[in-house]
Structure 1
Amino acid sequence: MEKEIIYNSNMHFEHEQWKGELAFWKQELLFFNNKLSELVTRWTNKDVLAQLEHYQNQFILHGGVIEDLQETIEKHETRIAAQSIEGEDAIDVRLAEQHVAFRDKMETQREIYADLKKEFFRFLEKYM
């Protein structure tokens, strides 16, 4: 099997896509937290409040994951910039492997986040 060659320009393009996606998720989390605030004022039932706390914790955790992903992208961008200054277009094998692993991590996080949103929307339908 032939190894894929990943060029800096292609990797940078993918990073820009991911950064946009992560920024969107951050905005959504703000919206979701506002919904939680609304619900806290409407409900006194302990079970509902426990579920609200669960979602609040999940949103905090996901916010931390977003921060970590953004930091990793910035580190990769710094390495790309250094290589660009040196005039190298094809990245080193180690960085390419890290990039592919990060791509897998983004795909996994998309699934986790999508599942959380579906679950939260079902919750909103029931208690809004």
Structure 2
Amino acid sequence: MESPTQTSDLQEQINTWKTEVNTVREDLQMMRERLAQLAFSKTNATIMAQVEHFQNRFIRQAEVADEMYHDLKQSSKKISANGQLHVIHDDRPVDDYDTLQERMETFQKLFEELKTDFNHFIPACQ
């Protein structure tokens, strides 16, 4: 995908990504609620180990979503301030559009894998 060159295009892409991150947050909340229902209804040790596994994955995915949203928000502020995208945030570099795009693609891929794994787990519990 070509990187947007106009500041308005960058802002629009970042806003789209922020919306996607918020959608992931909402999906994670629904998945957590479903997992809690499964945990209350099952006492099988194998199932409970999987429940804990998914709890941990949900927690980590939520942390990554928070980090991603924060970095997108900071990038948006930086673009608004000087019309360029040059931000570095600790160990999560956000120094150009390509880096942001790569991080978003990885974020989306990992969430889709988590969702697929969880959707395969649910029938095994019932």
Aligned structure 1 segments of 4 or more residues deviating by more than 3 angstroms: 94-97
Structure with bigger RCO (C-alpha 8 Å, 6+ apart)? 1
Q: CA RMSD in A?
A: 2.0
Relative to structure 1, the CA distance from residue 58 to residue 103 in structure 2 (aligned partners, 3 Å threshold; closer, same or farther) is same
Which secondary structure state, in structure 2, belongs to the residue aligned with residue 112 of structure 1? helix
Relative to structure 1, the CA distance from residue 37 to residue 66 in structure 2 (aligned partners, 3 Å threshold; closer, same or farther) is same
In the alignment, which residue of structure 1 is the partner of 2:106?
Answer: 108
Which of structures 1 and 2 has the bigger CA Rg? 1
User: Structure 1 CA distance, aligned partners of 2:40 and 2:65?
Assistant: 28
User: Structure 2 CA distance, aligned partners of 1:74 and 1:55?
Assistant: 28
In the alignment, which residue of structure 2 is the partner of 1:125?
Answer: 123
TM-score (norm. length: structure 1): 0.85
TM-score (norm. length: structure 2): 0.86
In the alignment, which residue of structure 1 is the partner of 2:17?
Answer: 18
Gaps of 5+ in 1: none
Greater per-residue helix proportion: 1
